[in-house]
Amino acid sequence: MKRWIITAALIIITIYLIPYSLPFLLALITAILLENSVKWFMMRFKWPRFRAVLATFILYLLFIALFVWFIVKLVIDQAVTLAEKGPPFANDFYKESLKGFIDQSQQYFKSLPVDVFQSFEKTIENTLQSVTSMLQGIVEWLFGLAAAIPGFLIEFLVYLIAVFLFSLELSRLRIKTERHLRETTKEKLYLITAQLNRAGIGFIKAQIFLSIVTFMMAFIGLAILKVPYALLLSILIVFVDILPILGTGSVLVPWAIFCFFQENQFLGFGLIVLFIVITVVRRILEPKVFSSNMGISPLAALISLFIGFKLLGFIGFFVGPAVVIVYDTLREAGIMKSRWKI
């Protein structure tokens, strides 16, 4: 009984401390993922661990720096383009499309009965209030995001330092941990670590593959539609597709609506078709790609992706397959047993 109480207390304390120790947990996971690179440097060049860790850490920093530079450059280029072309585009859009649409709508509403007109007017007012509230929420979120940047930078710096130190001490931590484990527990722990490591790398490979497929479809589709800056827009679509909540539809659908307002039906319908094609192809490929890279069956991948998305939204795409992988790993290690019968 005492053993169970201690175990329960440790679990509760761990759950409570996880939000405060998240940078260190992520650093430990990163160090484990980078361990193969460290071992490669040690074996290939006969380097001591410190030099191998330093080389791996520098390469990791270069990768992060290149990724951040690419994103910042993309955002700045888009902002400059928007600042240069935004006002003339908005003026032309208002004169050529929006003004005519408003005039036609006013003429149509005037011909309606008073009750129907008042109902439409009330609906429009409610819609405008909702849009205003949404815009206020977005502005507040942006201010909150800006205020959180200094704290994020501090946590990110702590994370990077922790990655280096964990990589440096990983072999010693493993030896110290093994002293307190039985042989059977060691085997189970090695199995769990290897499976989760393989699944994590497989998940990254799957995301990269799906992003490449999305980019190719977007670029080919935009090139067929003769859209200028097709390459840059395809990169933007892939980047938005990776972000939480957003997706290809958050770029292509509003763009198509603007095209319809501008009476450019060809481009509008083309963008809608492109959105449907990208969405359908991704939904078909996702279960197979995740299953082959993460070691779970296509059916389990499909079910976990669907249920995860329904329960948790975008985050469910990560959590759903992760739960299945952890369950399969624990079952193979003999920690969770399912030998029951009906």
Please give the single-letter amino acid code of residue 10. Answer: L
Residue by residue, DSSP assigns 220-238 as: HHHHHTT-TTHHHHHHHHH
Q: Answer for the pair 287, 301: CB distance below 8 angstroms, yes or no.
A: yes
Ordered alpha helix ranges (H), the chain: 2-17, 22-45, 49-93, 99-110, 114-178, 183-224, 230-242, 249-261, 265-294, 298-312, 316-332
CA dihedral 291, 296, 297, 299 (to 10 degrees): -80
Question: Is the pTM value of this prediction over 0.85?
Answer: no
Give the residue-averaged pLDDT of 38-62: 94
Per-residue DSSP letter, 182: -
State the chain's maximal CA–CA distance in angstroms. 87
User: What pLDDT is recorded for position 164?
Assistant: 96
Which range among 3-12, 160-169, 323-332 has the greatest average pLDDT?
160-169
The span from the CA of 258 to the CA of 21, in Å, is: 46
List C-alpha distances in Å: 150 to 23, 146, 147, 155.
Answer: 15, 8, 7, 9
User: What pLDDT is recorded for position 342?
Assistant: 55
Which range among 61-70, 72-81, 106-115, 304-313 has the greatest average pLDDT?
61-70
Judged on CB neighbours under 10 Å (0-12, 13-18, 19+), 330 is middle
Helix axes 99-110, 114-178, angle to 10 degrees: 130
Provide CB contacts within 8 A for 205, sequence distance 6+: 293
Confidence class of residue 96 from pLDDT cuts 50, 70 and 90?
A: low
Judged against a pLDDT cut of 70, whether residue 333 lies above it is answered with no
Kindly report, residue by residue over 8-24, the tens digit of the pLDDT: 777 777 767 777 788 89
**Other beta carbons less than 10 A from residue 273's beta carbon:** 14
Kindly report, residue by residue over 220-259, the tens digit of the pLDDT: 999 999 887 788 888 888 888 876 556 788 888 888 888 8
The span from the CA of 26 to the CA of 117, in Å, is: 57
Give the residue-averaged pLDDT of 21-36: 87
